[in-house]
Chain A
Amino acid sequence: MKQLKNKLAAGFVALFAFGTTPVIADETCQSPYMPKITGQEEFVYVWTLGEAGVGDESDKLVTVDVRPESDSYGKVIASLSVGGLNEAHHGGFSADRRYFWAGGLDTNKIFIFDIHSDAAKPKLHKVVDSFVKDSGGAVGPHTFYGLPGRMMITALSNDKDHGGRTALVEYTNEGDYVATYWMPTAENPQGAKIDSPVVDGFGYDVRALIRKNIMLTSSFTGWSNYMMDFGKMLKDEAAMKRFGQTVVQWDLHTRQPKKVMHVPGAPLEIRFPWGPNSNYAFTTTALTSKLWLIHEDDEGEWHSKPVADIGDPSKVPLPVDISIAADDQHLWINSFLDGMTRLFDISDPHAPKQVYEKKIASQVNMVSQSWDGKRVYFTSSLLANWDKKGADNEQFLKAYDWNGKELIEKFSIDFHKEGLGRAHIMRFGSSKLYSS
């Protein structure tokens, strides 16, 4: 516990000093501002979409016990329904890691869960139902990225046409609206340097590299596409033209866009490595199945380039979530349509190589690994109307051990049999973060 306290204290130093080494961080992919669980995580929170004919059909936050010594190891120990189908998708902790913010891409509601009062049983603390009105028209709260005292939220769409043009929206930790930062567009680049034939103004993920004062955003698609039946969309030539093709570099402090880079094929998750001299980030393009490097050159200029194929791009495996190891040597990449996870050696970020692959299920979306990389968790749901149909619509949380050579399954929870729904983003919890 003393060790944990020291880490928390170090965290506050880093938080205000923007130290050169992210000595505190979350489990590999989270905001570097927040305390992390370096040892055994106790709980996995799964933000779960309600599903017609399954349980109470409501979106819910599911808590799974992952304490190896617990009698309820590998079991659901809490389920908190929030009501309705909101298109539950992503969520993130506040920088103090006391609250978990989770968004609904359809209804634009933001659910703020108290996870510190009882880490084993989250409580619904507050619902923000004015996101569209607050922001001046942003739709689809997606990534929740904890900044000191603030929550930076990417949106995916807008309330004028449900297309992909959108914004970053900032709230206080208390859930009060602060500001909206619209993505640069061809008509209004907002002073950003344009290094792309397309300036789409789309959004998806946001991540920051504090010591470089860099924030990156990626670009997906608007409400009409992410809400519609996936098969219908693949056959809709007009809709298929409406996917993001850009990554935007921002000034973290001023929230001003600095550069628009060309990354065609819908770049999704962004991950910065943790090394003190690692001035790059990875993203994957869902539609073109490529791993991209966003990197800084010797003159301090940031660029984008594809560095590897993920599976056979012509078969459109649809890479989705990625998880970078804490030592920056490996990157897990899930692909939805073939249900595969692939591990890439990224020791040379300019030339990643696949070193392992395993089929997880008929479909797989999210991947989260523990800080030590020894445990890897997978969930299944992509979007309510993009998930596979019929028997292929497997919904699960699966836990594996990674021994450096292969994934060994520890437990699997069938979210249909448990009456829960479609399992989406996972975040780790621990009561030890809050005990004195």
Chain B
Amino acid sequence: MQTVPAGRVFVNGVAILLAGVLLIPGSPLQAADTKSSWAEEASRRASEPVLGLPKINHPEENQPTPGKIALGRKLFFDRRLSINRTMSCAMCHIPEQGFANWELQTAVGVEGRTVRRNAPTVLNAAFYRVLFVDGRDTSLETQYIAPLVARNEMANPSAGYVVELLRSLEDYRGAFEANFDGGPSLDRIGKALAAYQRSLIAGNSPFDRWLYQGDERALNASQKRGLGLFKGKAGCVSCHLIEETHAIFTDNAFHDIGYGWWREQQRQTPRDHQQVEVAPGVVYPVPHAVIASVSEKQQPDLGRYEVTQDPDDRWKFRTPSLRNVAVTPPYMHDGGFAQLKDVLRFYNEGGRAHDGLDPVIRPLELSDRDLRDLEAFLTALTSPDIPRLIEEARTAVPDNW
């Protein structure tokens, strides 16, 4: 693995500045898992408050330990834990891409199967009370089973199959026993994965230093104006919460902002042509009929309704945290917006009006300068700790056959 000094990273044309080091994919990999040092630090980080974030509410029966976190990291990066040994959690939640995936709007699973939704970042997942954008799970200890057995994700024939696999792999021998009261089991796999993910804490942003530490220089004038709009005229804070001692930038609730409904209208009534960029700056209008000839049928996404079956929940999705949002494009539940300015424009237009639209969504009448200031503020939510988390994530090469 190769490290290079910090610098500008271009994501969809947006320059992003990351402090510390950045790891470059596709280069020869480094070896040795130095778990004793990094996992101890990760365990400390998961146990103590981080500037701007609340204390993590670890389950009583799954308190963090360095050993659990190290085991969870190994599981997270193990490509053998999919039916054909090609996918791991980390193939969609890529450390160098903000523990998300910059390169795809929606994820791709085993054998290239289509996933309807964007792979969200797992940074700060510890602070969600509901998991997945439709909220179909509530615990990191159990959440992992869904992608593990989903036919279009890791496609294992059963969860028990994975338990048996881990029991048979030489490099896991004794690893569960050393950290739990027995060998591999569904329960213990979940605990290890949850322990690792709860160590992926990324606070301490310029915004945190400004608001919670009183560092006046942490935000520039534009960012401060943006924060004012965020809390005032734009009203973002009504769902993306900022509290007195901390801010997780989500209310952990479900809202219909008109986006899901709008995307469904587009699915049902596609445009005659799709503008396709075949090379930088070379865009051709490709007829819908041509695209349809090589397309499987696109599936709808009804959001929270798919969990509750309540018509009032159609096209409601969980409010995402905005922490590290500048380094986790593309945006929305299906990655349909490439840049933050696209998202801000959508909100400024009042979302997409229809019967179920959340009343807080309305035309905002923000000026171009307002939008620039809001975007500047959002870039102040990036944690300087991410390079360290990347480094920890890459303490060993992904497990392969």
Interface residues of A (CB under 8 A from B): 84-85, 87, 106-108, 129-130, 132-133, 136-137, 158-163, 165-167, 180, 182-183, 185, 187-188, 198, 201, 222-224, 226-232, 234-243, 245, 264-265, 285, 287-288, 313-316, 337, 384-389, 392
Contact status A288-B279, CB under 8 Å: yes
| Known contacts A136-B28, A234-B274, A288-B279; A161 and B91 CB within 8 A of each other | yes
Contact of A160 with B94 in the complex, beta carbons under 8 Å:
yes
B25 touches A231 (CB 8 A): no
Q: Is the CB of B12 within 8 A of A392?
A: no
Neighbouring A residues of B104 by C-beta, 8 Å:
224, 228, 236, 238-239
Residues of B participating in the A interface, judged by any CB pair closer than 8 Å: 2, 4, 12, 24-29, 79, 84-86, 91, 94, 96-97, 101-106, 108, 111-112, 114, 274, 276-280, 282, 284-286, 290-296, 298, 329-330, 335, 338, 397-398, 400-401
Residues of B within 8 A of A238 (CB): 12, 102-105, 329-330, 335, 338
One of A187, A243, A315 near B24 (C-beta < 8 A): A187
Task: Specify which of B24, B111, B401 is in contact with A185 (CB 8 Å cutoff).
Answer: B24
Say whether B25 contacts A161, CB under 8 Å.
yes
A-B contact pairs, 8 of them (CB 8 A): A132-B400, A187-B4, A187-B27, A228-B108, A238-B104, A245-B280, A389-B293, A392-B293
Bound form: Cα–Cα A240–B286 in Å:
13
Interface centre among A106, A227, A238, A288 (most CB of B within 10 A): A238
Partner of A236, one of B97, B105, B296: B105
Inter-chain contact B295/A133, CB cutoff 8 Å: no
* A287 contact set on B, CB distance < 8 A: 278-279
User: Contacts A136-B29, A265-B282 given: A389-B103 contact, CB under 8 Å?
Assistant: no
B286 and A316 form a contact (CB under 8 A)? yes
Contact residue among B12, B79, B329 (Cβ-Cβ distance under 8 Å from A159): B79
A231 and B295: CB pair below 8 A?
A: yes
Nearest-neighbour CB distance to chain A for B332, whole angstroms, equals: 12
- CB-based nearest B residue for A224: B108
Residues of A within 8 A of B114 (CB): 228-229, 232
Closest B residue, CB atoms, query A202: B26
State the CA gap A313–B279 with chains docked (Å). 12
Whether B105 and A137, one on each chain, are in contact in the complex, defined by CB atoms closer than 8 angstroms, is no
CA distance A237 to B277 in the complex (A): 8
**Closest A residue by C-beta to B84:** A107
Cα(A235)–Cα(B284), bound, Å: 12
Question: Contact between B401 and A129 (Cβ–Cβ < 8 Å)?
Answer: yes
> Which 7 pairs across A and B sit closest by C-beta, in order of nearness?
A231-B295, A165-B26, A227-B112, A287-B278, A230-B294, A264-B279, A265-B279
Q: Complex formed: what's the CA distance from A169 to B390 in Å?
A: 27
Chain B residues, Cβ within 8 Å of A130: 400-401
Q: How far is the CB of A191 from chain B (nearest CB, A)?
A: 15
- Could you tell me the distance in whole angstroms from the C-beta of A91 to the nearest C-beta in chain B? 19
User: B93 to chain A: closest CB distance in Å?
Assistant: 10
| Contact assessment for B26 and A240 in the assembled complex, using a CB-CB cutoff below 8 Å | no
Q: Are B398 and A288 in contact, with the CB atoms below 8 A?
A: no
Docked CA distance A259–B25 (Å): 21
Query: In the complex, what residue of chain A is closest to B287 when comparing beta carbons?
Result: A315
**Neighbouring B residues of A230 by C-beta, 8 Å:** 294-295
B103 touches A163 (CB 8 A): yes
Q: B401 CB to closest chain A CB, in angstroms?
A: 6
- Complex Cα spacing A162 to B89, Å: 12
How many Å lie between the Cα of A287 and that of B103 in the bound state? 18
Taking a contact as CB atoms under 8 Å apart, the answer to whether B112 and A106 are in contact is: yes
Q: Is the CB of A158 within 8 A of B26?
A: yes
